[in-house]
Amino acid sequence: MFYICGCVCAKLQALQSKDYVKTFSDREHLTEEAVDNFANHYLKDIANGSLKEGDWVNVSESPTPNWGQPFETYSVSKVAVSAFVSVLHNTLSQPGSGKKINIFSCCPGFVAVDVHTSGGTSVEVGADTPVWLALHSPEGGSGKFWAEREVIDF
């Protein structure tokens, strides 16, 4: 079983590129190459200085609008992580392999930790969904994005 930390504030619909939204929406046929191209395209925009706030992610969707560019970078990374969960699921659960490997992406929520000083839920509340997934591995839930014990649209 694999667990990858995602974030509900980094949804596919927040991406400005309709081409990436279309590519990542077809989760059954998503490839590692497509995820790599997405990440490398973003890194190239940063490296050549052509990145402007809001080019990649609708930053008005941010739960903390004053974050600006850091939120955009965080969102792009989490979209890539969620997309890669689909790739891993498709790769690791090939029919006839005789292996049952579950991979989940889940959001613990905004948890009060040392990284930030304002707000957030307790660590116990944040751990609820990952621990529940580990103990119960719901049928049909592998390769999907979870928050508060529910599958969330990516």
pLDDT of residue 13: 77
> Which runs of consecutive H residues, i.e. helices, occur in the chain?
18-25, 32-47, 69-92, 123-136
> Which residue range forms the structural domain that includes residue 135?
2-152
pLDDT of residue 137: 80
Q: What is the CATH number of the domain that holds 66?
A: 3.40.50.720
pLDDT of residue 128: 93
pLDDT of residue 147: 87
- Select from 127, 31, 9, 137 the least CA-distant residue to 87: 31
CA distances from 69 to 26, 54, 65, 123 (A): 28, 8, 10, 27
This prediction has a pTM of 0.79
pLDDT of residue 122: 86
Query: 15, 21 in Cβ contact below 8 A?
Result: yes
> Based on the structure, what is the number of domains in the chain?
1
pLDDT averages per 10-residue partition of the chain, 154 residues: 66 83 90 95 87 69 57 84 89 73 84 72 89 86 87 81
